[in-house]
Amino acid sequence: MNILVTGANGQLGNEMQIVSKASSKDKYIFTDVCDGYTHLDITNIDAIRQMVKDNDVKCIINCAAWTNVDKAETAGEIVETLNATAPENLAKVMKEVGGLLVHISTDYVFGGDPYNTPCREDQKGTPTGVYGLTKLHGEQKIQATGVDYIILRTAWLYSEFGHNFVKTMLNLTATHPQLKVVFDQCGTPTYAGDLANTIFDIIENRKYEGHCGIYHFSNEGVTSWYDFTKAIAALAGHDNCNIQPCHSDEFPSPVKRPAYSVLDKTKIKETFHTTIPYWLDSLKKCMANMNEIKK
Per-residue pLDDT of 132-150, as tens digits, reads 999 999 999 999 999 999 9
The pairing of strands 186-187 and 223-224 is antiparallel
Domain regions of the chain by residue span: 2-162+189-220+262-277
DSSP string, 206-239: TTTTT--EEEE---BS-EEHHHHHHHHHHHHT-T
pLDDT > 70 fraction of the chain, expressed in percent and rounded: 100
- Class of the domain covering 2-162+189-220+262-277: alpha beta
Whether residue 114 is predicted with pLDDT greater than 80 in this model: the reply is no
Q: What is the average pLDDT across 197-226?
A: 97
Whether 131 is catalytic is yes
Contacts of residue 281, Cβ cutoff 8 Å, sequence gap at least 6: none
Q: What are phi and psi of 243, to 5 degrees?
A: -95, 120
Per-residue pLDDT of 76-93, as tens digits, reads 999 999 999 999 999 999
Which among 111, 20, 112 has a CA at the least distance from the CA of 5? 20
pLDDT at position 295, please?
67
Q: Which of 108, 131, 158, 191 is catalytic?
A: 131
pLDDT at position 113, please?
77
Q: Residues 48, 90: contact at Cβ < 8 Å?
A: yes
DSSP element (H, E) containing 197: helix 192-204
Alpha-carbon distance 119 to 208, whole Å? Answer: 22
Helix axes of 225-236 and 279-294: crossing angle, nearest 10 degrees: 40
